[in-house]
Protein backbone atom coordinates (compact mmCIF):
# COMPACT_ATOMS: atom_id res chain seq x y z
CA UNK A 1 0.00 0.00 0.00
CA UNK A 2 1.18 3.49 -0.84
CA UNK A 3 2.24 5.00 2.54
CA UNK A 4 1.19 8.47 1.30
CA UNK A 5 -2.41 7.22 1.41
CA UNK A 6 -2.19 6.70 5.18
CA UNK A 7 -3.41 9.76 7.06
CA UNK A 8 -0.34 10.01 9.30
CA UNK A 9 2.18 10.22 6.40
CA UNK A 10 3.12 13.44 4.62
CA UNK A 11 3.41 14.15 0.87
CA UNK A 12 6.92 12.68 0.78
CA UNK A 13 5.81 9.43 2.45
CA UNK A 14 7.40 10.21 5.83
CA UNK A 15 5.64 9.85 9.19
CA UNK A 16 4.20 13.26 10.15
CA UNK A 17 3.80 13.87 13.91
CA UNK A 18 1.60 16.91 13.08
CA UNK A 19 -0.81 14.83 10.98
CA UNK A 20 -0.86 12.02 13.55
CA UNK A 21 -1.66 14.50 16.32
CA UNK A 22 -4.44 16.15 14.29
CA UNK A 23 -5.86 12.72 13.41
CA UNK A 24 -6.07 11.87 17.12
CA UNK A 25 -7.64 15.26 17.87
CA UNK A 26 -10.25 14.64 15.15
CA UNK A 27 -11.29 11.40 16.84
CA UNK A 28 -11.77 13.03 20.27
CA UNK A 29 -15.21 14.70 19.76
CA UNK A 30 -16.71 11.52 18.26
CA UNK A 31 -15.31 9.34 21.03
CA UNK A 32 -16.47 11.84 23.64
CA UNK A 33 -20.04 11.78 22.25
CA UNK A 34 -19.97 7.94 22.22
CA UNK A 35 -18.71 7.78 25.81
CA UNK A 36 -21.28 10.39 26.94
CA UNK A 37 -24.01 8.30 25.29
CA UNK A 38 -22.78 5.19 27.04
CA UNK A 39 -22.62 6.92 30.43
CA UNK A 40 -26.10 8.37 29.98
CA UNK A 41 -24.84 11.96 29.90
CA UNK A 42 -26.82 12.98 26.81
CA UNK A 43 -30.11 13.72 28.56
CA UNK A 44 -33.62 12.38 28.03
CA UNK A 45 -33.27 12.01 24.24
CA UNK A 46 -29.71 10.76 23.82
CA UNK A 47 -29.95 9.90 20.10
CA UNK A 48 -31.36 13.33 19.24
CA UNK A 49 -28.64 14.95 21.34
CA UNK A 50 -25.99 12.85 19.56
CA UNK A 51 -27.44 13.93 16.17
CA UNK A 52 -27.02 17.55 17.28
CA UNK A 53 -23.49 17.02 18.56
CA UNK A 54 -22.34 15.26 15.38
CA UNK A 55 -24.03 18.00 13.29
CA UNK A 56 -22.22 20.69 15.29
CA UNK A 57 -18.87 18.99 14.73
CA UNK A 58 -19.54 18.48 11.01
CA UNK A 59 -20.03 22.19 10.38
CA UNK A 60 -17.09 23.10 12.63
CA UNK A 61 -14.79 20.73 10.73
CA UNK A 62 -15.97 22.03 7.34
CA UNK A 63 -15.13 25.54 8.54
CA UNK A 64 -11.76 24.48 9.99
CA UNK A 65 -10.90 22.83 6.64
CA UNK A 66 -11.76 26.10 4.90
CA UNK A 67 -9.74 28.17 7.37
CA UNK A 68 -6.57 26.14 6.77
CA UNK A 69 -5.66 28.02 3.60
CA UNK A 70 -5.83 31.53 5.14
CA UNK A 71 -4.16 30.24 8.32
CA UNK A 72 -1.14 28.82 6.49
CA UNK A 73 -0.66 32.13 4.63
CA UNK A 74 -1.13 34.40 7.66
CA UNK A 75 0.97 32.16 9.94
CA UNK A 76 3.54 31.43 7.18
CA UNK A 77 3.14 27.75 7.98
CA UNK A 78 3.04 25.82 4.63
CA UNK A 79 2.79 22.41 6.36
CA UNK A 80 -0.75 23.28 7.45
CA UNK A 81 -1.97 22.59 3.91
CA UNK A 82 -1.41 18.83 4.32
CA UNK A 83 -4.09 18.86 7.06
CA UNK A 84 -6.87 20.07 4.77
CA UNK A 85 -7.68 16.67 3.28
CA UNK A 86 -7.60 15.03 6.70
CA UNK A 87 -10.02 17.56 8.23
CA UNK A 88 -12.29 17.50 5.16
CA UNK A 89 -12.56 13.71 5.18
CA UNK A 90 -13.20 13.80 8.95
CA UNK A 91 -16.07 16.26 8.31
CA UNK A 92 -17.56 13.72 5.90
CA UNK A 93 -17.17 10.92 8.48
CA UNK A 94 -18.96 13.06 11.09
CA UNK A 95 -21.84 13.87 8.74
CA UNK A 96 -22.20 10.17 7.90
CA UNK A 97 -22.66 9.42 11.61
CA UNK A 98 -25.01 12.44 11.93
CA UNK A 99 -27.13 11.06 9.08
CA UNK A 100 -26.96 7.44 10.31
CA UNK A 101 -28.17 8.51 13.75
CA UNK A 102 -31.07 10.33 12.09
CA UNK A 103 -31.98 7.03 10.36
CA UNK A 104 -31.72 5.25 13.76
CA UNK A 105 -33.96 7.95 15.29
CA UNK A 106 -36.51 7.27 12.55
CA UNK A 107 -36.42 3.56 13.60
CA UNK A 108 -34.80 2.60 10.24
CA UNK A 109 -38.03 3.47 8.38
CA UNK A 110 -36.24 4.16 5.08
CA UNK A 111 -39.40 5.26 3.13
CA UNK A 112 -40.07 7.83 5.89
CA UNK A 113 -36.43 9.00 5.80
CA UNK A 114 -36.63 9.45 2.01
CA UNK A 115 -39.95 11.31 2.11
CA UNK A 116 -38.72 13.55 4.96
CA UNK A 117 -35.57 14.41 2.98
CA UNK A 118 -37.73 15.25 -0.05
CA UNK A 119 -40.41 17.19 1.84
CA UNK A 120 -38.50 19.03 4.58
CA UNK A 121 -36.39 21.73 3.07
CA UNK A 122 -33.78 21.74 5.88
CA UNK A 123 -33.22 18.00 5.35
CA UNK A 124 -33.08 18.41 1.56
CA UNK A 125 -30.40 21.06 2.05
CA UNK A 126 -28.50 18.92 4.59
CA UNK A 127 -28.62 15.90 2.30
CA UNK A 128 -27.35 17.92 -0.67
CA UNK A 129 -24.44 19.11 1.51
CA UNK A 130 -23.75 15.50 2.56
CA UNK A 131 -23.63 14.35 -1.07
CA UNK A 132 -21.31 17.25 -1.91
CA UNK A 133 -18.96 16.42 0.95
CA UNK A 134 -19.01 12.78 -0.20
CA UNK A 135 -17.90 13.73 -3.72
CA UNK A 136 -15.10 15.91 -2.31
CA UNK A 137 -13.96 13.19 0.13
CA UNK A 138 -13.84 10.55 -2.63
CA UNK A 139 -11.97 12.81 -5.07
CA UNK A 140 -9.57 14.10 -2.40
CA UNK A 141 -7.00 11.40 -3.15
CA UNK A 142 -3.75 11.88 -5.13
CA UNK A 143 -5.12 9.47 -7.77
CA UNK A 144 -8.19 11.65 -8.39
CA UNK A 145 -6.03 14.80 -8.44
CA UNK A 146 -3.94 13.23 -11.22
CA UNK A 147 -7.00 11.95 -13.08
CA UNK A 148 -8.80 15.29 -13.06
CA UNK A 149 -5.74 17.50 -13.49
CA UNK A 150 -4.86 20.34 -11.09
CA UNK A 151 -7.18 22.96 -12.61
CA UNK A 152 -10.32 20.79 -12.81
CA UNK A 153 -9.61 19.32 -9.36
CA UNK A 154 -9.30 22.78 -7.80
CA UNK A 155 -12.46 23.96 -9.57
CA UNK A 156 -14.37 20.94 -8.26
CA UNK A 157 -13.09 21.40 -4.73
CA UNK A 158 -14.18 25.05 -4.70
CA UNK A 159 -17.69 23.58 -4.36
CA UNK A 160 -16.86 23.33 -0.65
CA UNK A 161 -17.81 27.02 -0.28
CA UNK A 162 -21.31 26.19 -1.57
CA UNK A 163 -21.45 23.18 0.76
CA UNK A 164 -20.48 25.37 3.73
CA UNK A 165 -23.26 27.81 2.82
CA UNK A 166 -25.79 24.94 2.65
CA UNK A 167 -24.54 23.76 6.05
CA UNK A 168 -25.14 27.23 7.56
CA UNK A 169 -28.67 27.37 6.07
CA UNK A 170 -29.42 23.83 7.36
CA UNK A 171 -28.18 24.90 10.79
CA UNK A 172 -30.37 28.05 10.79
CA UNK A 173 -33.51 26.28 9.57
CA UNK A 174 -33.39 23.45 12.11
CA UNK A 175 -32.64 25.59 15.17
CA UNK A 176 -36.05 26.53 16.44
CA UNK A 177 -35.30 29.40 18.82
CA UNK A 178 -31.59 29.51 19.58
CA UNK A 179 -29.98 31.28 16.63
CA UNK A 180 -26.79 32.15 18.52
CA UNK A 181 -24.45 29.50 17.09
CA UNK A 182 -25.87 29.56 13.52
CA UNK A 183 -25.36 33.35 13.54
CA UNK A 184 -21.73 32.89 14.64
CA UNK A 185 -21.22 30.35 11.85
CA UNK A 186 -22.82 32.69 9.28
CA UNK A 187 -20.41 35.45 10.39
CA UNK A 188 -17.41 33.14 10.10
CA UNK A 189 -18.65 32.08 6.67
CA UNK A 190 -18.63 35.75 5.61
CA UNK A 191 -15.06 36.01 6.90
CA UNK A 192 -13.99 32.90 4.95
CA UNK A 193 -15.45 34.36 1.76
CA UNK A 194 -13.69 37.63 2.56
CA UNK A 195 -10.38 35.74 2.84
CA UNK A 196 -10.89 34.49 -0.71
CA UNK A 197 -11.58 38.04 -1.87
CA UNK A 198 -8.34 39.23 -0.22
CA UNK A 199 -6.29 36.54 -1.99
CA UNK A 200 -7.93 37.53 -5.28
CA UNK A 201 -7.18 41.22 -4.63
CA UNK A 202 -3.55 40.86 -3.46
CA UNK A 203 -2.45 37.70 -5.30
CA UNK A 204 -1.81 34.08 -4.31
CA UNK A 205 -0.12 33.54 -0.99
CA UNK A 206 -0.63 37.18 0.07
CA UNK A 207 -2.92 38.23 2.91
CA UNK A 208 -1.71 41.52 4.40
CA UNK A 209 -2.46 41.78 8.11
CA UNK A 210 -4.20 45.21 7.89
CA UNK A 211 -6.60 43.76 5.29
CA UNK A 212 -7.19 40.72 7.51
CA UNK A 213 -7.87 42.93 10.57
CA UNK A 214 -10.33 45.06 8.56
CA UNK A 215 -12.03 41.89 7.33
CA UNK A 216 -12.54 40.64 10.92
CA UNK A 217 -14.02 44.01 11.90
CA UNK A 218 -16.34 43.95 8.88
CA UNK A 219 -17.40 40.33 9.52
CA UNK A 220 -18.10 41.11 13.21
CA UNK A 221 -20.12 44.23 12.34
CA UNK A 222 -22.10 42.49 9.59
CA UNK A 223 -22.86 39.60 11.96
CA UNK A 224 -24.24 42.06 14.54
CA UNK A 225 -26.33 43.83 11.86
CA UNK A 226 -27.53 40.48 10.47
CA UNK A 227 -28.54 39.32 13.94
CA UNK A 228 -30.50 42.53 14.58
CA UNK A 229 -32.19 42.22 11.16
CA UNK A 230 -33.14 38.60 11.93
CA UNK A 231 -34.74 39.50 15.27
CA UNK A 232 -36.54 42.43 13.65
CA UNK A 233 -37.93 40.46 10.68
CA UNK A 234 -38.65 37.15 12.47
CA UNK A 235 -39.80 38.44 15.85
CA UNK A 236 -40.54 42.13 15.38
CA UNK A 237 -37.86 43.08 17.95
CA UNK A 238 -36.66 46.70 17.56
CA UNK A 239 -33.58 46.68 15.29
CA UNK A 240 -31.71 49.35 17.28
CA UNK A 241 -32.35 47.67 20.62
CA UNK A 242 -30.93 44.32 19.44
CA UNK A 243 -27.95 46.11 17.91
CA UNK A 244 -27.32 47.96 21.18
CA UNK A 245 -27.37 44.63 23.07
CA UNK A 246 -23.90 44.16 21.59
CA UNK A 247 -22.64 46.79 24.00
CA UNK A 248 -23.92 45.13 27.18
CA UNK A 249 -23.38 41.67 28.64
CA UNK A 250 -27.01 41.39 29.89
CA UNK A 251 -27.97 39.01 27.07
CA UNK A 252 -24.57 37.29 27.03
CA UNK A 253 -21.77 37.73 24.53
CA UNK A 254 -23.39 38.48 21.16
CA UNK A 255 -22.31 36.58 17.99
CA UNK A 256 -20.70 39.66 16.39
CA UNK A 257 -18.05 39.78 19.14
CA UNK A 258 -17.39 36.03 18.87
CA UNK A 259 -16.84 36.39 15.11
CA UNK A 260 -14.55 39.39 15.63
CA UNK A 261 -12.54 37.66 18.39
CA UNK A 262 -12.20 34.24 16.75
CA UNK A 263 -11.23 35.54 13.31
CA UNK A 264 -9.16 38.41 14.76
CA UNK A 265 -7.16 35.87 16.77
CA UNK A 266 -5.66 34.55 13.51
CA UNK A 267 -4.53 38.06 12.52
CA UNK A 268 -3.05 38.57 15.98
CA UNK A 269 -1.17 35.27 15.77
CA UNK A 270 0.02 36.28 12.29
CA UNK A 271 1.36 39.56 13.72
CA UNK A 272 3.16 37.69 16.53
CA UNK A 273 4.54 35.22 14.00
CA UNK A 274 5.80 38.15 11.91
CA UNK A 275 7.70 39.44 14.96
CA UNK A 276 9.39 36.06 15.41
CA UNK A 277 9.92 35.19 11.76
CA UNK A 278 10.37 37.76 8.92
CA UNK A 279 8.11 37.17 5.87
CA UNK A 280 9.29 34.14 3.91
CA UNK A 281 10.52 34.73 0.35
CA UNK A 282 9.66 31.15 -0.58
CA UNK A 283 6.55 30.94 -2.73
CA UNK A 284 3.66 29.25 -1.01
CA UNK A 285 1.82 26.55 -2.93
CA UNK A 286 -1.41 27.93 -4.43
CA UNK A 287 -4.53 27.35 -2.28
C1 LIG B 1 -22.92 18.60 5.56
C2 LIG B 1 -24.14 18.26 5.94
C3 LIG B 1 -24.75 18.58 7.29
C4 LIG B 1 -24.31 19.43 8.26
C5 LIG B 1 -23.09 20.32 8.28
C6 LIG B 1 -25.27 19.36 9.33
C7 LIG B 1 -25.19 20.09 10.51
C8 LIG B 1 -26.18 20.14 11.47
C9 LIG B 1 -26.15 21.01 12.61
C10 LIG B 1 -25.03 21.97 12.95
C11 LIG B 1 -27.27 20.77 13.32
C12 LIG B 1 -27.70 21.48 14.59
C13 LIG B 1 -27.06 20.93 15.81
C14 LIG B 1 -27.46 21.73 17.04
O15 LIG B 1 -28.52 22.35 17.06
O16 LIG B 1 -26.69 21.73 18.01
C17 LIG B 1 -28.02 19.76 12.63
C18 LIG B 1 -29.21 19.25 13.06
C19 LIG B 1 -29.89 18.25 12.41
N20 LIG B 1 -29.54 17.68 11.20
FE21 LIG B 1 -27.91 18.07 10.11
N22 LIG B 1 -26.25 18.45 9.01
C23 LIG B 1 -25.96 17.97 7.76
C24 LIG B 1 -26.68 17.02 7.08
C25 LIG B 1 -27.82 16.41 7.54
C26 LIG B 1 -28.51 15.33 6.88
C27 LIG B 1 -28.09 14.67 5.58
C28 LIG B 1 -29.57 15.02 7.67
C29 LIG B 1 -30.62 13.97 7.45
C30 LIG B 1 -31.16 13.71 6.32
C31 LIG B 1 -29.55 15.89 8.83
C32 LIG B 1 -30.46 15.87 9.84
C33 LIG B 1 -30.46 16.68 10.94
C34 LIG B 1 -31.44 16.64 12.00
C35 LIG B 1 -32.63 15.68 12.08
C36 LIG B 1 -31.09 17.61 12.93
C37 LIG B 1 -31.81 17.94 14.24
C38 LIG B 1 -33.05 18.71 13.96
C39 LIG B 1 -33.96 18.85 15.16
O40 LIG B 1 -33.59 18.47 16.27
O41 LIG B 1 -35.05 19.33 14.96
N42 LIG B 1 -28.45 16.71 8.71
N43 LIG B 1 -27.33 19.40 11.49
Q: What are phi and psi of 39, to 5 degrees?
A: -85, 0
| pLDDT of 287 over the 50 cut | no
| pLDDT of 80 over the 50 cut | yes
Burial level of 186, CB count in 10 A (0-12/13-18/19+)? buried
**How many angstroms is it from 122 CA to the middle of ligand 1?**
8
Atom of ligand 1 nearest to the CA of 167: 5
To test ligand 1's pocket by mutation, which of 98, 180, 186 has the most ligand atoms within 8 angstroms of CB?
A: 98
Average model confidence (pLDDT) across the chain: 93
Q: Residue 276: its pLDDT value, please?
A: 81
| pLDDT of 284 over the 70 cut | no
To test ligand 1's pocket by mutation, which of 174, 175, 182, 183 has the most ligand atoms within 8 angstroms of CB?
A: 174
Q: Residue 30: its pLDDT value, please?
A: 98
Q: Residue 259: its pLDDT value, please?
A: 98
**How many angstroms is it from 174 CA to the middle of ligand 1?**
7
To test ligand 1's pocket by mutation, which of 55, 95, 105 has the most ligand atoms within 8 angstroms of CB?
A: 55
- Residue ID of nearest Cα to ligand 1 atom 37: 52
| pLDDT of 150 over the 70 cut | yes
Calculate mean pLDDT across residues 186-209.
Answer: 96
Q: Which residues line ligand 1 (CB under 6 A)?
A: 48, 51-52, 55-56, 58-59, 95, 98-99, 102, 117, 123, 126-127, 129-130, 133, 167, 170-171, 174-175
Q: Residue 55: its pLDDT value, please?
A: 98
- Residue ID of nearest Cα to ligand 1 atom 6: 55
What is the per-residue pLDDT across 154-187, written as a single tens digit (0 to 9) for each? Answer: 999 999 999 999 999 999 999 877 899 999 999 9
CA 80/CA 95 separation, integer angstroms = 23
3-state secondary structure string, 24-51?
HHHHHHHHHHHHHHHCCCCCCCHHHHHH
Q: Residue 285: its pLDDT value, please?
A: 52
- Residue ID of nearest Cα to ligand 1 atom 13: 52
- Top-confidence residue, 180 or 10: 180
| pLDDT of 27 over the 90 cut | yes
Calculate mean pLDDT across residues 36-49.
Answer: 96
User: Which residues neighbour 247 within 8 Å (Cβ) at sequence distance 6 or greater?
Assistant: none
| pLDDT of 282 over the 80 cut | no
Query: Which residue(s) pair with 15 in the sheet?
Result: 9
CB 30 within 8 A of CB 53: no
What is the per-residue pLDDT across 96-144, written as a single tens digit (0 to 9) for each? Answer: 999 999 999 999 999 999 999 999 999 999 999 999 999 999 999 989 9
| pLDDT of 244 over the 60 cut | yes
Percent of the chain clearing pLDDT 70 (strictly above) = 95
**How many angstroms is it from 162 CA to the middle of ligand 1?**
16
To test ligand 1's pocket by mutation, which of 89, 108, 170 has the most ligand atoms within 8 angstroms of CB?
A: 170
Calculate mean pLDDT across residues 209-219.
Answer: 97
pLDDT band at 52 (very low <50, low <70, confident <90, very high): very high
**How many angstroms is it from 54 CA to the middle of ligand 1?**
8
- Top-confidence residue, 234 or 35: 35
**How many angstroms is it from 175 CA to the middle of ligand 1?**
9
What is the per-residue pLDDT across 253-269, written as a single tens digit (0 to 9) for each? Answer: 999 999 999 999 999 99
CB 30 within 8 A of CB 97: yes
| pLDDT of 2 over the 70 cut | no
Q: Residue 6: its pLDDT value, please?
A: 82
Calculate mean pLDDT across residues 216-228.
Answer: 97
Atom of ligand 1 nearest to the CA of 117: 30
Amino acid sequence: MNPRALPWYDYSGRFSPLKALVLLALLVPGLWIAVSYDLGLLGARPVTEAIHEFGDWTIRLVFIALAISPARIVLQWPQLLQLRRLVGVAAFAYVLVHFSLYVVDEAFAIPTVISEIVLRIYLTIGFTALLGLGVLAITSTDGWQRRLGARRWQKLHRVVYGIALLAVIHFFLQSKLNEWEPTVMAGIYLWLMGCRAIVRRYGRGKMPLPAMASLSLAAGALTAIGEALYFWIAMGAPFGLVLMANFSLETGLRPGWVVLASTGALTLLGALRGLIKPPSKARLRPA
